Amino acid sequence: MAEDFQSPQEAGSQEPSRKDFIILASGAAAAIAAAGGAVPFIRSMQPSLDVEAERFAEIDISEVPEGKVTTFEWQGKPVWVFHRNAEQIALAANPPKPSKDPKSKPDSERALKPEYLIVVGICTHLGCIPLYEGGAKEEWKAWHCPCHGSQYDMSARIIAGPAPQDLEVPPLEYLSDTTVLIGEA
Amino acid sequence: MAEKGSLSRVYDWFDRQLPVTELMENHATKYPTPKNLTYWWNFGSLAAIFLVIQILTGILLAVQYKNDPTLAFDSVQRIVRDVEWGWLIQPMHAIGASFFFLVMFIHLGRGMVYGSYKSPRALLWLIGCALFMVLVIAGFTGYLLPWGQMSYWAAQVITEVFSAVPVVGQTLVEWVRGSFVVSDATLSRMFTYHIVLVPILFIMLTVVHISALHKVGSSNPTGVEIDKKEKDKFATFHPLTTAKDAWFGLLVLMVFFAFVFFAPHYFTPVAQFIEANPLQTPPEIVPEWYFLSMFAILRSIPEKLLGVVALFGSVGILFFLPLLDRSPVKRAFSRPIFRWGLLLFFLDFIYLGYLGTKPPLGANLVAGQIATLYYFLFFLSLPLVTWLEAKMAAKKGAKDE
């Protein structure tokens, strides 16, 4: 409403002055220009193209011994390939304790092939790397995090501790029986 | 001989074109400081001494340091072993950081005990809080540079904190790191922040802090403002305060150099002597001692987002102190409830630091939660405390009459 605008210089006048208009318009233009100008500066701090090139990794899982975990690197993060034995598969399929993660998925959806569980080995609490114990202390427990004590089961689901989610299953695709492509297509 | 010497002619030449005399008189030779200031008032100038030490040693370190993950760790070892006097300069910077924090904590605590955040010094307090935040950033960015295991994993944990932000969390983490994990990109930017952004901000804010201080004047131990007209209660900054600062500064520097010479690694955890390994977390991640209390607050809250909010809130709430505590009484000792609350707060802060070194399990977790609760309750209860104290004072006043 035009009546709402009143500059102190023109108290009494009901019309916004030419000066008010210019101040508002130039102020708005400067703000938009500043916001636009900030985009390249903020964008320049995003991962650069050479870093982006590491979005994918192709790994060969044939060498992973049964009952053991081998660490591969993807995006600079450790990716674990856990070659599970029959007992471990059974414990993963019927876990004795439930996951704390409300969005937790059953083992059949986490491991495309039951023998191979492939997860990002970074604790979902604050990014530490959990240590493998493979059921040595308690039969269901495969990993514990040394930082704040989160505990993960044979399907790398969060059972106890401060971590909010199960270990992440990265986007992956079996290129052959032994080759896996990790990363979003 | 009325003719001036050549030295004073040079001085005059400058003084005509630059407010040299004016600045010296306004801020030193004629600037009034209360005579009754105790040594608790020395910690501001001590902070300035450590700022100078950090900047000088920092420049010399930056000359020799290599900010590349493949070279960084060895370049620091090289500074200590091969660079002339590097054995002195590197520990001065590292121990200097610890002393800077210690001095800053005491300076902040002094401000809380003597109500230095109250009118007319609210803005002075806010600028000081901003300085503290820059110091926190300096401590965090600087700790990554030696590229030891603890450097790497502390940075990993702290940058991961941003992932708690809903929706944009992961993008934000990658933006802060410049990569998916702490890496080359992260080291380069942290180094740049540490040697460019931090010093610029710190020096600018220090100038603003001192300007604000000299506009409103120092507080004093009585908690009662001294009238500027009572000339006999003031002495000029120079020579009274400069002499006091110099003597006390030298005393603290003696302790400082005792650490530098005889215990240069006193504050360095063992894991720092192993080069950063992105694929292996050290068995225990413990931050530097000056972050332990904040770390304990973060860990005591099991919910991730809330924990992070509490972490930032623990520093951020300092900014709200002038708003929360509206009591006209400045000196904590003169306030029946506040003095105990504040004492308990200091003990609570130290206890949180102790808990920060312990794994957050069982009784320690519960203790951490109680200590965290008190940390915030202390601040949030201030309006109530002020109200209760006013009631008590009114009752006492009525009795006396």
Task: Determine what percent of chain B is predicted with pLDDT higher than 90.
Answer: 84
What is the Cα–Cα distance from B311 to B297, expressed in whole angstroms? Answer: 6
In order of A157, B80, B116, B323, the CA distances from A151 in angstroms are 8, 40, 47, 43
B74 lies within 8 A of chain A by CB:
no
- Residue B11 has φ and ψ, to the nearest 5°, of -60, -45
Nearest to B156 by CA among B277, B45, B266, B288: B277
What is the rounded distance in angstroms from the CA atom of residue A116 to the CA atom of residue A80?
Answer: 10
Q: Percent of chain B scored above 70 by pLDDT?
A: 99
What pLDDT score was predicted for residue A137?
Answer: 83
Put simply, the answer to whether A51 touches B178 (Cβ < 8 Å) is yes
When the candidates are 1.10.287.980, 1.20.950.20, 3.40.50.410, 3.40.30.160, the CATH number that belongs to B287-401 is 1.10.287.980
Chain A interface mutation, best of B170, B176, B180, highest count of A Cβ atoms under 10 Å = B180
Whether residue B239 has a cis bond before it, omega within 30° of 0: yes
A interface with B, Cβ–Cβ < 8 A, is 42, 45-48, 51, 54, 71, 73, 75-78, 125-131, 145-149, 162, 164
Identify whether the C-beta of residue B328 lies closer than 8 Å to the C-beta of residue B389: no
Residue A163 has pLDDT above 90, yes or no: no
Q: Report how far residue A56's alpha carbon sits from residue A45's, in angstroms, rounded to the nearest whole number.
A: 21
Tokens for B331, please give them.
């000196």
Q: Work out the number of other CB atoms within 10 angstroms of the CB of residue B31.
A: 19
Chain B's closest residue to A50, CA to CA, is B179
> What average pLDDT does chain B have?
93
Of the partner residues A127, A162, A164, the one whose CB lies closest to the CB of residue B156 = A127
Task: Return d(Cα B139, Cα B96) in angstroms, integer.
Answer: 11
Q: Cβ distance B134 to B205 under 8 Å?
A: yes
Tokens coding B235: 């002495």
CA distances from B260 to B49, B266, B326 (A): 16, 9, 43
Residue range B291-295: average pLDDT?
94
Q: How far apart are CA A74 and CA A64, in angstroms?
A: 17
Residue A28 has pLDDT above 50, yes or no: yes
Residues of B in contact with A129 (CB under 8 A): 279-281
Cα A5 from Cα A16, distance rounded (Å): 5
Q: Distance (Å, rounded) from C-alpha A108 to C-alpha A121?
A: 19
Q: Which of B190, B102, B112, B178 is nearest to B145 (CA)?
A: B190
Distance from CA of B153 to the nearest CA of A (A): 7
Pick from B182, B153, B187: which is nearest to B284 by CA?
A: B153
| Residues of A tagged active-site | 148
Instruction: Determine the length of chain A.
Output: 185
Among chain A residues, the shortest Cα distance to B285 is held by: A147
Computed on alpha carbons and rounded to an integer, the radius of gyration of chain A in Å comes to 27
Residue B160 has pLDDT above 90, yes or no: no
Token pair, residue B138, equals 């300096």
Whole-number pLDDT of residue A166 = 92
Instruction: For tokens 């941003």, name the residue.
Output: B162
The mean pLDDT of B146-169, rounded to a whole number, is 91
Q: Are A146 and B303 in contact (CB under 8 A)?
A: no
pLDDT top residue among B316 and A96: B316
B279 pLDDT exceeds 90?
Answer: no
> Of A103-107, A136-140, B262-266, which range is least confident?
A136-140
B291 within 8 A of B299, measured Cβ to Cβ:
no
Q: What is the pLDDT of residues B330-387, one digit of tens each?
A: 999 999 999 999 999 999 999 999 999 887 778 999 999 999 999 999 999 999 999 9
Domain boundaries of chain B, sorted by first residue: 39-218+239-277, 287-401
Complex confidence, ipTM? 0.72
- The per-residue pLDDT for B202 is 97
First to last CA, chain B: 70
Q: Which two tokens stand for residue B158?
A: 């702290």
Considering the domain B39-218+239-277 in this protein, what is its CATH number? 1.20.810.10
- What is the predicted pLDDT for the residue at A1? 47
Which member of A54, A129, A149 has the closest CB to residue B361? Answer: A149
For chain A, the average pLDDT equals 86
Q: Among residues 241-260 of chain B, which lie with CB inside 8 Å of chain A?
A: none
Structure confidence at residue B335 (pLDDT): 95
Helix (H) or strand (E) holding B383: helix B382-400
* Concatenated DSSP letters of B84-121: TTHHHHHHHHHHHHHHHHHHHHHHHHHHHHTTTTSTT-
Closest approach of B363 to chain A, Cα-based (Å): 15
The 10s digit of each residue's pLDDT in A55-107 is 888 999 988 998 889 999 888 888 999 999 988 898 888 888 888 888 888 88
B10 CA: distance to closest CA in chain A (Å): 46
Which amino acid does the sequence have at B299?
Answer: R
Q: Which residues of B touch A73 (CB under 8 A)?
A: 279
Of B178, B179, B304, the CB nearest to A125: B304
Coil/strand/helix, residue B163? helix
Q: What percentage of chain A carries pLDDT values higher than 90?
A: 39
Residue A36 has pLDDT above 50, yes or no: yes
Residue A130 DSSP symbol: P
Give the pLDDT mean for A141-168. Answer: 89
Q: Region A111-117: what's the mean pLDDT?
A: 90
Using CA coordinates, name the residue in chain B closest to A163: B304
- A161 torsion bin: left (phi>0), alpha (psi -120 to 50), beta (else): left
- Nearest-angstrom CA–CA distance, B295 and B356: 6
Sheet with A77-83: strands ordered across: A68-74, A77-83, A116-120
What is the structure's pLDDT at B350?
97
Between chains, do A76 and B299 touch, taking CB under 8 Å as contact? no
Question: Which residues in chain B are contacts of A127 at CB distance < 8 A?
Answer: 156-157, 159-160
Quote the pLDDT of residue A14: 66
Sign of CA dihedral B158, B160, B163, B168: positive
Cβ–Cβ gap A129/B281 under 8 Å:
yes
Q: Which residues of A touch B359 (CB under 8 A)?
A: 148-149
The answer to whether residue B299 neighbours chain A at the CB level (below 8 Å) is: yes
Chain B's closest residue to A79, CA to CA, is B279
Cross-chain CB nearest to A46 (options B161, B174, B304): B174
Q: What are phi and psi of A180, to 5 degrees?
A: -125, 135
CA-to-CA distance for B372 and B349, rounded, in angstroms? 9
Nearest residue on chain B to A47, judged by CA atoms?
B178
Nearest to B178 among A45, A77, A148 (CB): A45
Most confident of A103-112, B155-164, B248-257, B268-277: B248-257
Phi, psi of B189 (to 5 degrees): -75, -40
What is the pLDDT at residue A11?
56
Cβ <8 Å between B180 and A46: no
Question: What residues have CB less than 8 Å from A179, skipping those under 6 apart?
Answer: A58, A59, A60, A61
Nearest to A71 among B160, B279, B284 (CB): B279
Measure CA of the first residue to CA of the last residue in chain A; give whole Å: 52
Residue showing tokens 């720092």: B272
Confidence check: pLDDT of A5 > 80: no
Q: Do B185 and A47 touch (CB under 8 A)?
A: yes
B359/A149 CB distance under 8 A: yes
Cα nearest neighbour of A51 on chain B: B179
Mean pLDDT of B278-286: 78
Bond from prior residue into B120 cis (ω within 30 degrees of 0): yes
Q: Phi and psi (nearest 5°) for B237?
A: -55, -45
- The 10s digit of each residue's pLDDT in B15-70 is 999 999 999 999 999 999 999 999 999 999 999 999 999 999 999 999 999 999 99
